[in-house]
Amino acid sequence: MTQIAITQLGLCTPLGQNTKTVLTHLLAGTSGLAPKNDLLFDRTAMVGEVTGPLPDIPAALSQYHTRNNQILLCAAKQIESKVNLAKNRYGQHRIGIVLGTSTSGIESGEQALKFYNQEQDFPEGYDYALQELGNTSQFLQAYFSLSGPCYTISTACSSSAKVFASAKRLLMADLCDMVIVGGADSLCQLTLNGFDALESISNVTCQPFSVNRQGINIGEGAAVFTLEKATSAQALTVQGQDPILLAGIGESSDAHHISAPHPEGQGAIIAMQAAIHNANIHASQIDYVNLHGTATQKNDAMESRAIEAVFTPNLPLVSSTKPLTGHTLGAAGAIEAAFCYLLLSDENPQALLPPHLWDEQIDSQNPSLSFVSQHKPVHGKKPLRYIMSNSFAFGGSNASLIFSRGDNTSND
């Protein structure tokens, strides 16, 4: 069976802008959330903001200048050498791009509207195309000078999890030899006030699965990966390191409600079971699940039921990392996939897991899960082999991903 290998990762998150920093903060449970007073109309919001320096958009690509693309570029520069090697080996037409986003350049549109309200005209150089969802992928294709398949997926909070399924199809259909996947989203007033209108914003750090949970914190960031067939990837990987594989993908669309999940998690169950089946493993082999864990009333209730349904009697260790980064919406699937990658990598030799940050006040209405303790370092089963990441979106557009530690061998 053909295996899909991850050959490079780039990150730009509230926890840091390189793999070492991000992993250190992830395992320590160091939150990147902080108050910001210019997003919600009536009060301060607790958000996950990228605070490090961002690269400038090259002058030749100035038509793509948005904060969203700057965050994406910060992550993309970390995979640039791998992409250049692939261009020389495969050709620029054999490298695809599939990214997920929900905001694209909306923040630039907000600034343009503020200018218009003052000056009765839009600022010079403003282009509505900056807000189009495809702008993100088009920018990265132009930056890397590629000509392969290029498109964007926008299914709300599962956007950049679903890109992995699209990339695998491109590789398996022999339309590409490498696919760049990932996601990028940036803070803007539209998303904060939209979720606030749904009464889903927490004024304090979110408390996933707590009886006291009040809703989400919004975050921003980007993560990008290079994916290749494992046999092709061997020449581009570091010798001696076990590859990290995209082992399983599960998708579902339960369409229960435009903004609420099925109360018993039917779509979530289907997605997780499909990923396990696709990975050709048993549920008991999953060492850890990165929960969608938004800290909204309905998501946490259904996800706890779904986890119980899929994994009983062998409940895996679980945690939500959204109290660390905030919910990065269209980028959440990719950023949390990156966390899974780092946990399986050689940078985590002790097989530590990220703690579940909350007040430990269990909601007795929901099944009890095996949360990773925040009080002491937690070792997974040594070595970690299979990790699942859940992304559940509006409209029941769900995705579960399984990543695994390979053994430097593969069959094509």
Nearest to 185 by CA among 397, 404, 393: 393
Helix (H, G, I), strand (E, B) or coil at 149: coil
CA–CA distances in Å: residue 334 to residues 157, 161, 341: 10, 6, 10
Residue located via tokens 């930056």: 143
Structure tokens at 212: 């006291």
Is residue 292 part of the annotated active site? The answer reads yes
CA–CA distances in Å: residue 328 to residues 57, 99, 312, 325, 391: 22, 14, 30, 7, 11
Per annotation, catalytic residue among 12, 74, 150, 157: 157
C-alpha–C-alpha distance, residues 144 and 135, integer Å: 14
Helix (H, G, I), strand (E, B) or coil at 399: strand
Is residue 327 part of the annotated active site? The answer reads yes
For 56, how many CA atoms within 13 A lie in the half-sphere containing its CB? 4
Is residue 188 part of the annotated active site? The answer reads no
C-alpha–C-alpha distance, residues 64 and 145, integer Å: 14
Report the b/e string of 282-317 with b at 16+ CB within 10 A: ebebbbbbbbbbbbbbebbbbbbbbbbbbbeeebbb
First to last CA, the chain: 6
Per annotation, catalytic residue among 206, 292, 340, 356: 292
Helix locations, 29-158, DSSP H: 67-76, 80-90, 106-119, 135-144
Per annotation, catalytic residue among 25, 65, 262, 327: 327
Residue located via tokens 């660390």: 324
What are the φ/ψ torsions at residue 17 (nearest 5 degrees)? -125, 25
Please give the single-letter amino acid code of residue 226: T
Question: Which residues are known catalytic residues?
Answer: 157, 292, 327
